[in-house]
Amino acid sequence: MLLCSLGMTGSTACAQAIFSPRASALGAYGALVRDARGFTANPAGIVGIKDWDIYTATYSATSTSGEGFVFSGFGIGKRFFGNNALALQYTPGTSLDVVQPSSFTIAGLSLTAERQISYGEPLAAAYAYRITDRLSFGIQERMQTEKITDPEYSLQKISDSLNAVLPAQQEFNRSTWFTDIGALWKPAENIALSALGRGLFRVNGSGIPSTFDSYTLPRERYLELCAAWNAAPSLTIAAGGSTDNRGSLGIEWIPGLNIALRGGLYSDGGEIPFINACGIGVGWAYLFLEADASYVRFTNQSDRKGSVSVSSFDPSGIKDLGMSPFSGDRVSISIRAVLGGARESLIRIEGVEMLGGIYPSAYQSLAYRPIGNVRVRNTSGKPVQARASFFLEKLMDGPTESQPLIIQPGESVDLPFTAVFNDRVKGVPAITIRDGTVSVRAALENDYDDHARARVLIHGRNDWDGSPGALRYFVTPDDPDVIRTAREIMVKNRDSLSGVPAELGSLRRAKMLCDAFTGTLVYVSDPKHLTEFVQYSTETLRSRTGDCTDMTVLFASLLSSMGISTAFVDVVPPASPEKSHIFLLFDTGVSPQFGDHVSSNPKRYVLRRSKSGRETIWVPLESTAITRGFDDAWTEGAQQYFDDVELGLGLVAGWVHIVDVY
């Protein structure tokens, strides 16, 4: 007969920590998941993975005499097709091991044995999809294992006079898969909300007899909610709670130098005291690497020294293997690497403003003058050096970049951008709208952080915005037709120039040039009935017709081709803006003391500084009167200048502008 008695006197238990040190330091982590680390807090957050995300961790129990640091596990994640992400986590260290000693008496022999119960969550896999920039959903599968090793002794007869006690061991295993579904929503730029339903579906395994049901972990369904608030660019506050009476509060501060400091509190309504644990941590990032460390300390240390009484061990109170009633204090360390072509975006576009249409006549000036602004925000926790880029397909050979600008964390600034157009822009026949690409990037990075499409208004090649400054871009002294026309006129009149004093050479050449067109040019109003339509010099030479702006542009081009400086006089009478007019000034090069060589009437000329800075005599010409000859054009131009500038004080009042054509 087998006589057996069992006496259970004590129990040892050891539980492993949360996989991610950042998560264990903060506590409330669900709304902060942005990568593969600790994604089981909310799988919807893995859409924040940039490309490949690799993560590994280790830990050491400090409240028990353990084996030092042991391998906790690793995780890997990948983002694909823009809005999809997958992650896998292997965590053999996420376990809870319980040893229950026992004593047996068989046929008068006292024997000892230990029953071992092991719980673990070695595997987790997740998939997430980003619906919009602010909303994503995720689903994950978690594998939970239970293993019971039970000792067994039997008394067997060896012979008629000899019996022996032989040991044996029974091992029972069971795996259960749990399905969790989570959501992550950003109602505002600095607020994130998360929800996770745990254990919504499960597939129960088998393999453990019903006699061990008392060791089964609870399989309740519950909801976890979490919120995170970026109170400042370097400060984040997070809070969370669940329907199983657990909660947490965490804070993360980034003082600079890529260092993050963290702290958190844990609460459990089923434990005493209510605040049952606290965590602290530090993180550091450099390029594509991140290192994190944390320390978790439990308030009540009675059952966390590695051994408890058998009567105190109750699996029904274990809701989380990492934060069970038997988990000990621990230090965790992890390293994360972001690999591949994608990376974390440091700046984001908030809006694009075009400063006006593109006038092909002035396209060269746009390389130096901004055509628009892009408003960008620094979304990182450190200052970044940002640049803006603009590109318009076919009309530009490549994108143009702005000068770099330092943007502080959380700050929004306007970055102006320019455009270097190619000659094809002058072939746009009429007003049209094109889509340009505005991009921004952080300095020293190889890829753009964000892109935006901008509608660009491209005017026709003859369109003019009405400003005298832009009119000078229609002046083409290097045009072959302009050069040929001016040279032919000079050749025909070379005999008349031979006896002219050198100081009056420019004046005589201007007179010959204007007189050559007497009776050959016809003044007509704008052919399109639009005041902003301007002909290029070659077009006016070909058609022999034009309005005041066309004539002014033509003679400015002809005079400039011979080295004579010119200027536009733009007149917009305040009382009658519809009578706005433009005429021409040209530099004779004559010094003021020789003014009587130009004219005995000083009101017929203007004293102003030339391009070289020397004061010289300038002659006004009414462009539309050139069709009647140089003298009439000079007389009318002088009268116009005297009335508007001298008597009307137009320059002083600001309704007359003089723009040099260089």
Q: Give residue-wise pLDDT tens across range 64-81.
A: 665 678 888 899 999 988
**pLDDT tens per residue across span 636-648:** 999 999 999 988 8
Q: Give the domain ranges of the chain.
A: 6-339, 347-458, 468-661
Q: Which CATH class is domain 6-339?
A: mainly beta
Residues 330, 335, 338, 344: is their CA dihedral positive or negative? positive
Tell me the pLDDT tens digit for each residue of 236-255. Answer: 999 999 998 889 999 999 88
DSSP assignments along 8-69, one per residue: ---EEEEE---S-HHHHHHS--GGG--SSTTGGG-GGGGGG--SEEEEEEEEEESSS---SS
Inter-CA distances, 572 with 359, 390, 580, 625, 660, Å: 22, 35, 4, 19, 17
Asked if 361 and 463 touch (Cβ cutoff 8 Å), the reply is yes
Select from 586, 582, 580 the least CA-distant residue to 620: 586
Amino acid at 161: S
Q: Work out the pLDDT band at 4, boundaries 50, 70, 90.
A: very low
CA 44, 199, 312, 95 dihedral sign is negative
Strand-strand pairing, 259-268 and 289-298: unpaired
Q: How far apart are CA 275 and CA 346, in angstroms?
A: 37
Provide the CATH number for the domain formed by 468-661 in this structure. Answer: 3.10.620
pLDDT, position 448: 53
Quick: pLDDT tens for 34-53.
888 889 999 999 998 888 99
Q: How far apart are CA 102 and CA 117, in angstroms?
A: 13
Q: Which CATH number fits domain 347-458: 3.40.1080.10, 1.10.150.120, 3.40.720.10, 2.60.40.10?
A: 2.60.40.10
What 3-state class would DSSP assign to 362?
Answer: helix
pTM: 0.54
Cα–Cα dist 495/6, whole Å = 135
Average pLDDT value for the chain: 84
Say yes or no to pLDDT of 496 above 90: no
How many whole angstroms separate alpha carbon 566 and alpha carbon 618?
9
| pLDDT per position as a tens digit, 173-194 | 999 999 999 999 999 878 999 9
For the chain, the maximum distance between any two Cα atoms, rounded to a whole number of angstroms, is 155
